């Protein structure tokens, strides 16, 4: 009996097994990614995340997800402590990491899981809606006009929407920044964010 050669329209059974990816919810995917990245961070990277998050307080509901020990540590000092390599700060760094994946696409998360050797997963779940950056128009900002820096095009959103007004923090006009962005799109992870 002749055995037919496998083709894309006639895949052998073992092919199907290979391509059937495990499904994962995006929240679980983000947790796995953040935990894997936490281990890889060096001293300076830990410090940078802690600096960004050390001012967290009761006005942010996520503050209460931290242990009581860390809550009181944060509340007791304005300055960043010197023992930042201590594991007791890991939960705050994890919070910083998980927050940084808010609004990113499921495709990007799936790639990241593979890249970090966590596994091949199909990520699903509703993507948190962010605001579109005035420069690149990808949804990267949590609020508008709050001096957040776009993670994709690096425009600092100082609230200007006028194309030809010089923007101090950006050292250029919005029109110039848009032109700059258009030139470098090939090198940027355009699949990380949702376009407006």
Phi, psi of 121 (to 5 degrees): -130, 150
Q: Which is nearer to Zn ion, 118 or 149 (CB)?
A: 149
Contact call for residue 153 and Zn ion (CB under 5 A): yes
Which window, 18-26, 70-78, 111-119, 131-139, contacts Zn ion (CB under 5 A)? 131-139
Q: How far is the CB of 140 from Zn ion (least distance, A)?
A: 6
Q: How far is the CB of 141 from Zn ion (least distance, A)?
A: 8
Which window, 27-35, 90-98, 100-108, 132-140, contacts Zn ion (CB under 5 A)? 132-140
CA angle 48, 38, 123 (to 5 degrees): 115
Contact call for residue 130 and Zn ion (CB under 5 A): no
Measuring CA to CA, how many Å separate 128 from each of 21, 87, 183?
A: 23, 29, 28
Structure tokens at 7: 């083709």
Contact call for residue 150 and Zn ion (CB under 5 A): yes
Which window, 49-57, 72-80, 152-160, 183-191, contacts Zn ion (CB under 5 A)? 152-160
Structure tokens at 181: 């962005």
Distance CA(131)–CA(141), nearest Å, equals: 5
Which window, 13-21, 55-63, 93-101, 134-142, contacts Zn ion (CB under 5 A)? 134-142
Q: Give the end-to-end CA distance of the chain in Å, rounded to a whole number.
A: 56
Contact call for residue 136 and Zn ion (CB under 5 A): yes
Q: Which is nearer to Zn ion, 109 or 135 (CB)?
A: 135
Return the residue of 135, 157, 160, 177 that touches Zn ion, per CB under 5 A: 135
In sequence order, what E strands does the chain have? 22-25, 121-124, 131-132, 139-141, 166-167, 172-173
Structure tokens at 124: 């699903």
H helices of 77-141, in order, are 90-100, 106-115
Return the residue of 33, 123, 133, 177 that touches Zn ion, per CB under 5 A: 133
Using CB under 5 A, list all residues that contact Zn ion: 133, 135-136, 150, 152-153, 155
């Amino acid at each position: 009996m002749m055995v037919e050669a496998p083709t894309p329209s006639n895949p052998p059974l073992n092919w199907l097994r290979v391509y059937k990816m495990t499904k994962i919810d995006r929240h679980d995917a983000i947790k796995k990614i953040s935990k894997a990245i936490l281990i890889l961070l060096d001293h300076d990277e830990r410090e940078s995340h802690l600096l960004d998050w050390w001012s967290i307080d009761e006005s942010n509901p996520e503050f209460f997800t931290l242990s009581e020990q860390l809550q009181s540590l944060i509340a007791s000092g304005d300055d960043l402590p010197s023992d930042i390599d201590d594991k007791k700060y890991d939960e705050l760094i994890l919070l910083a990491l998980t927050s940084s994946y808010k609004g990113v696409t499921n495709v990007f998360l799936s790639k990241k899981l593979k890249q970090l050797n966590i596994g091949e997963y199909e990520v699903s779940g509703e993507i948190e809606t962010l605001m579109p950056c005035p420069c690149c128009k990808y949804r990267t900002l949590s609020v508008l006009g709050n001096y957040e820096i776009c993670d994709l095009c690096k425009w600092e959103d100082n609230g200007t929407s006028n194309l030809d007004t010089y923007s101090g923090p950006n050292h250029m006009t919005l029109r110039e920044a848009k032109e700059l962005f258009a030139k470098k799109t090939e090198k940027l992870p355009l699949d990380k964010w949702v376009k407006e």
